[in-house]
Structure formats: C-alpha cells, structure tokens
Structure 1
C-alpha cells in the first residue's frame, strides 16, 4: 500500500469514526457542553466557505460550536458544542458526523493511498514501456510539438510502473493500520483463489484520466479484459 493522490472513483474502506463526547456538563450560564474529537482535515468542511456551514449548523440545532483554528488543529482537536439541552447536543453531534461522512465522499477530499500490483518486475513489459515513450518523444520532435510540454521528465520512472487496484482515503494512522491489517488478512485468500498460478494482465493502448483528451494531464495504460487469470 502506498501514499498517493491518483484517480478518482473507487470505493473507500468503511469509515472508522473516533468520537469522544461528554454530555451533561453545564457552565455558569447553565449551558450543557459536549466535546467530539475531529481529525484536522475535516474542520474546513465544518466551517464551510465564509463560515456558512457552521452558521447553518448552529442555527438548525440551536447550539454554539467552538472550532479550533487550523494552527491549533494540526493533529486533530476536540470540537466543543454548547447548547441548552442534551437533545440539542445530540442533534448537533449527529449533524457533525453527517457533514464528515459527506466530506469523505466528496471529490474535494482527496485520496491519500492506493493499493497496486507492481509491474516493474517484468523486463519485457518495461522494454515495451520504454519503446512507447521513445516513440512519443520522437514523434514530438518530428511534429514540432515540443513546446506543448511533452518532455522525457513527464514520464513516470520505470521502476514505479504499477497497476492500481484500489484508491483509499485514510486520514489518520488508525485507518492506515486498519487497511494494512485488512490486506494482510485477505492475502491467503487471494493465493488460494489463484491456486498457485500467475495472474495474467493484458495492457493495451492508453487512455486519459479525465474526459476531455485536450485537457488531459495524466495518461494510463488500459487493462484489456480477458478470460485468463
């Protein structure tokens, strides 16, 4: 499993929401308070553009939110909720969790890791990749398109060539460890399913990561479906 930020559109592992809440504590003004641990990466979603999300949440639930500043919340911090009733606190905590879950599914919350099969172990494949890159660069020189940004430096290193299987959003060490444990757990089942035979993958042609080829910044080798393993 590696850290990265490639493609979009892959399922994420189930969310592990760490929550610590304390209800029933009242201050001198008679307000109840509760605290929730929130990872630093989610505070911007709770605040919203111009503070609009925070304002709407406070208005809808009749509570006051004390959200740490980005500087205070580098490693995550407790969000403090104050309200006049336990029902208001519970409602606010529910909405906070809803906002966080929506944020996780949002494209604004980028993928952090990916699971892949290394392909740099196969000399013949690497030679094909090198030949493709050479062809592109030679065509570029002949057509006078070198000013379009096509340069040797834009190609990935051959040693990092891989096939991405799964994109993940893992925003704290607990989730990273859970994902690693999950991979270790399913490894024997994968070996059993393959029955000791090698996995055959056919790569043919290239495609762009996003719809419009004219605006594409990333190309990838396409996997061709076949009946073999």
Structure 2
C-alpha cells in the first residue's frame, strides 16, 4: 500500500466584482501549513471565497484530527496527483455554471481538463473543481469567476434582496388598498383566479410585526371589518373587458407587502447576505442623525405611471411626499445607499440612479401565466383607474423602521422576510 503525506496550500482570493467601480481585484495570500486529509477533499470551512489546492508527495500513511476553522475533521490519504478547490458561488448561480443541458460545465471540463462537481441540494452554495494540476484547477476557477461576473451584471440574475421602508404596518392603509383592489376587481375573480380570491376572503386578520424595536409590537387588522365595495354580478362581457385591458388580480401588489423601496440588491450567497445585514445595523446611528432624531411622516396622495403612458402602463404607483418637506427622509436613504455602495454590495448602474420614493400598487411584471396559453401582456390600461383614483388621498403615515428584505420569501405576517432592521425615531409630533 502506497503511503503519502502532503501539505495544503491555502490562499484567499477576494474577487470584488460588481463593486468598487467594478474593477476586478484579487488579493492572494499564500500560507503553507501542515495538514492531513484526502487529497481530493475540500476544506470549505476556511471562510468565504477561500480556495484550497492540495499538492501531494510520497511519504508515510497519515491519519489525524485537524482543527480547521474551529471544527474538527479527520481523514486519511488515498491517492496522489489529484488537486481540488472549493468555490462558494451561491445557489442561485449554479444553473449558470451548469449551462443549458450542462453545456457550459462540459465545455470548461473539456478545455481545462477538470471535473466540476455541482451540489445536489439547492441550499448548498459550493462547487468543487478537481484536476490533475494546480494550474488547470486555478484556470477553471477563474473561468467560473468570469461567468459569475457576467451573470451578476446581466438581467439573467434577478435581485434577491432590497432595503425597504414597510408601510403595511398601518392597518388603515392596508384597508384602503384592499378597497382599492376590490373596487376595481369586484367581489369575484375576473381572470379564472377564483380560488385566490376565496383564499383572501377566508383570511380574517393580518398581523404585522415591527422588527427593529427591542420588544416586538404587533398591529392586528380584522379583514372582516373592512367594507368591501359591492357590485352586481359581473357579466362575461365585463370580465372580458377587464382582461382585454390587461387588468387582473395578479398584477396588484399584496397589501401585506406594501412598502417603499430604498435600494435593490443582488446578494447571491450567504456571505453577501451576512455582510449586508452587518452594514445596515452598523449605520443605525448615522440614519438617526440624518433624520435629526425626529420622527418622519409621509403623505401618500394620487396615482402616477412609472414611465410610458397610462394606456400602456407597466407600473402604477402612489407618489410620496415628506411632511414638512425638509428632505430628511432622502438624506437617510442616501446614508443607507452610500453604506451599501461602499461595502461593494450595489451594482454600478444602481449606484448611479437617483432615488425616487414611491409606493407601487400595480405592476404588470407580476402577472401570472394564463392556463389557456394566452399571450402574457406586458402592460395594462390604467386610464380608467387613474380617472377614479388619480387624486386619491391615502393619508399620512409614520416611517417606523428600515428592513433588509428578502424577495419572494415572506414572514408569517405576509411581509417580506426581514434579514435585518433598524428603527427610525419614535412617534410624536412637534
């Protein structure tokens, strides 16, 4: 039986893509340290973006426990001449490394002479690259980093998180949104979505948690008490008219998720999510200073179309006005944005955009695909809606906190999952 011993060449490569002006920067620190493990295994516990390549040389059989990143691992050497590296790429990016029908993965494997092992679980962030030399493994990993850079910059990878100012914590506002939707849709579904409406009507209450306070406060809303606008039974012709206008339940924003968006983020792995949480928490004092340590109230009034015309609307929103017009809310939002940009968590194109606070009520992008295979409409006709609600006074509301919210995932209260939050000044009027 052949016997071998070897060392691990551990190095950290920090690739700052989509950050710091989007100039790729690599910091490589080479540190040799004795260790014993399988030559094809991966030590992923060393930290984020840590790549480790094993170099083998013949000697004696070794088996021992090793403290690696505060965790014990024990293994023994089986073969020489195999080198491997672990890359934390993020679960949402695995499909881009695989490519359509595995074509991208196979091309890299053939050109670089490596084997790429993708995770079996959607919850895993790491991939393994194995090869016969350090050089081929390194080149393959660099190719994958390039693919990730391109994907992150493109629309292929959707935004995963955003900084939000929750508005669904105000029951009276949620009530107005429910009435707004029902006054347009009526009591019955207009697009074969009766089951969704029944589910909504069976809901008796909504509870919204305030995350940033030391003691969790809850706001309860009894849906049964909300007056629903009644209409006579709709005829088939009316339903067809609404459908022809592109208006259906799925394009309305759920009242339980109503919010203001400060900043959109692509946080494609756990490390970036953790960094984003730390950034938000760390700037709480600066945000308070930007608000002059005084409560911030906003007024929601009217309806407007985001780009385009009302006849071919994609997004319909409620404009936001700061009570007192002192510019404090925009200053606070700028503090948040600057901190995330400095941390390298914001895409360059997003960092350059000026913030326009708005509360979306309808968005054609949320439209569900129809079962009858009818073509999905990209817009909707908002002219009649604007005629009736263009001057709607939605009321004045206190902004109580800021969240780092995860898209497509929701808390028990129906709002986006809160990854981190900071409080705004408490409620009182001068």
Which interval holds the TM-score relative to the shorter structure?
0.5 to 0.7
Displacement of 1:182 after TM fit?
Answer: 1.0
* Residue among 174, 188, 191 paired with 2:288: 191
1:163 and 2:260 equivalent?
yes
Residue in 2 aligned with 1:66?
116
Q: Return the offset for 1:213.
A: 6.8
Return the TM-score normalized by structure 1: 0.67
Q: Answer whether contact 1:202 1:224 (CA < 8 A) is retained.
A: yes
CA distance in 2, matches of 1:160, 1:76: 28
Confirm or deny: 8 A CA contact 1:200 1:228 kept in the other structure.
no
TM-score (norm 2): 0.40
Give the structure 2 partner of residue 51 of structure 1.
Answer: 102
Whether the aligned pair in 1 keeps the contact of 2:158 and 2:266 (CA below 8 Å) is yes
Matched, 1:146 2:239: yes
Residue from 93, 116, 141 that aligns with 1:93: 141
Structure 2 residue 269 is matched with structure 1 residue 221? no
Cα gap change, 1:163 to 1:13, in 2 (>3 Å): farther
How much does 1:185 deviate? 0.9
1:80 and 2:129 are equivalent in the alignment: yes
Give the Cα separation in 2 of the matches to 1:205 and 1:110: 27
The 1:193/1:77 distance shift into structure 2, 3 A limit, reads closer
More RCO (CA 8 Å, sep 6+): 1
Query: In structure 2, what is the Cα distance between the partners aligned to 1:211 and 1:178?
Result: 40
What's the counterpart of residue 6 of structure 1? none
The answer (yes or no) to whether the contact 1:23–1:32 under 8 Å persists in 2 is yes
Give distance in 1, aligned partners of 2:50 and 2:252.
43
Find the aligned partners of 1:56 and 1:150 in 2 and give their Cα distance.
Answer: 45
C-alpha distance in structure 1 between counterparts of 2:313 and 2:101, whole Å: 31
Which is further off, 161-170 or 25-34?
Answer: 25-34
Q: 2:97, 2:105 within 8 Å by CA — same for their partners in 1?
A: yes
1:195, distance to aligned residue in structure 2 (A): 0.7
Distance 1:215 1:74, change over 3 A: same
Given candidates 34, 50, 66, the residue that maps to 1:19 is: 50
* Change over 3 Å in CA distance of 1:108–1:120 after alignment to 2: same
Distance 1:74 1:89, change over 3 A: same
2:109 touches 2:116 (CA, 8 Å); kept in 1?
A: no
- Measured at CA, do residues 92 and 172 of structure 1 come closer, stay the same or move farther in structure 2, by a change above 3 Å? closer
Distance 2:87 2:293 in 1: 46
Greater helix fraction, Structure 1 or Structure 2: 1
Distance 1:116 1:220, change over 3 A: farther
Q: Which is strand-richer, 1 or 2?
A: 2
Q: CA deviation at 1:228?
A: 4.1
The structural deviation recorded for 1:119 is 1.6
